[in-house]
Chain A
């Protein structure tokens, strides 16, 4: 079942994960159990995911983040929003981000 996410909502990184940039690879490392899949502990984000992560400050909603990213990434506003929603659902489902 898909986790519902909305562009109007504000999200922030869970306090139970640590993000690290290891030799150019941006990874999310869970601290506590119950984050993500049981068989894959560490998650890797691409440049787009990393850019979203950098904007998840607990103040901006996803729509505002999408507006910022349209200036940095190729694609229409609609495509950027769709990609943000896709990744956001995944991260929320894995409890890597939390809704404020």
Chain B
């Protein structure tokens, strides 16, 4: 009898440091933050985690950060990971990809497309986001090296004031990249600092957030495709969650953070839900610790009155991680995400203007009608 696979993919945040200083970033620390660097996991400890991941039938390691290529031992860790028979998914800004690294990726392919975030189509917009002089040229060079060495990669972006008018140009450029098989993904509903470490930056991130209506405008640029996807999604997943805090996949695998804590989700940095890998194992976390986290119930009165009864929960980004970032608790409703979910639902005809989804009693019928293409006339949208 074979053992159950515990992990299909493991995220490893190699560092929280980054050589860019993006205006919207929820995690970045300066690349020369020696205090953060000193606390980071050693090469040997990361190798130990990787070996355990293999024993748990893991197939893919996602190296992310911060900027994972900042780690001086990145090459060593990458080669070690691949030699364990693991695929590697790398999230990077590409600015540190040099000839040597590109040739390494060519000789020992990651077996997953590298994901490069591109912050602007020209120097002005790119560096207005990254805050680093020379970063556009460095990214351009990295991307050219990937292309030259035929390394499979995709690009993605973030919708921000300096680049929000470049979407068409960016997409045209992106779709010329050989491995782009769909339009680049764009992050746009930005998270606050996941370590709750910078109130000034949080205030700035809030200012950068687009309005729910602007977001819907972007999401529905390919309107027919969007509506088709939402019909499929809503018919499968849309229902009130009750007081379950974790209705997602958190804790079935997780993320080893830069300092050796295993988190049920890469976004959830709450110390109470983190498992110390320096004194334990991935297996112990998955078998014994995370189930307790997943069993947690919401207690916040506002959450129980609203989110627990809201049939839009699966459309909403509200989750313990977002609640932690915004409020320092796991179960406080996040107004911004609530507004976005309602804006989407209004667009789709699932709720009426001024209606709150948690007050809707005939939600099952509305979902049935939506999946059958019957949209309430008063919803004010056409499909």
**Residues of chain A at the chain B interface (Cβ within 8 Å):** 18-24, 29-33, 41-42
Contact = CB atoms under 8 A, between A and B. Distances in A.
Leading 7 A-B pairs by shortest Cβ distance:
A18-B85, A29-B85, A24-B2, A23-B5, A20-B85, A22-B57, A41-B111
A22 B59 contact: yes
24 contacts: A18-B83, A18-B84, A18-B85, A19-B85, A21-B2, A22-B5, A22-B57, A22-B59, A23-B5, A23-B57, A29-B85, A29-B86, A29-B87, A29-B111, A30-B109, A31-B82, A31-B83, A31-B85, A32-B107, A32-B108, A32-B109, A33-B106, A33-B107, A33-B108
A33 B57 CA distance: 23
Contacts of B108: 31-33
Contacts of B109: 30, 32-33, 41
Interface in B74-89: 82-87
Interface in B58-106: 59, 82-87, 106
Nearest to B3: A23
B54 interface: yes
Contacts of B57: 22-23
A29 to B, nearest CB: 4
Contacts of B86: 29
A38 B109 CA distance: 11
Contacts of B82: 31
Contacts of B59: 22
Contacts of A30: 109, 111
A20 B86 CA distance: 10
B303 to A, nearest CB: 37
A1 to B, nearest CB: 25
Contacts of A21: 2
A21 to B, nearest CB: 8
Contacts of A32: 107-109
A41 B54 CA distance: 18
A31 B59 CA distance: 13
Contacts of A22: 5, 57, 59
Contacts of B2: 21, 23-24
Contacts of B87: 29
Nearest to A20: B85
A23 B7 CA distance: 11
B100 to A, nearest CB: 16
Nearest to A22: B57
A33 B86 CA distance: 14
A68 B87 CA distance: 34
A31 B108 CA distance: 6
A51 to B, nearest CB: 17
A21 B5 CA distance: 11
B107 A20 contact: no
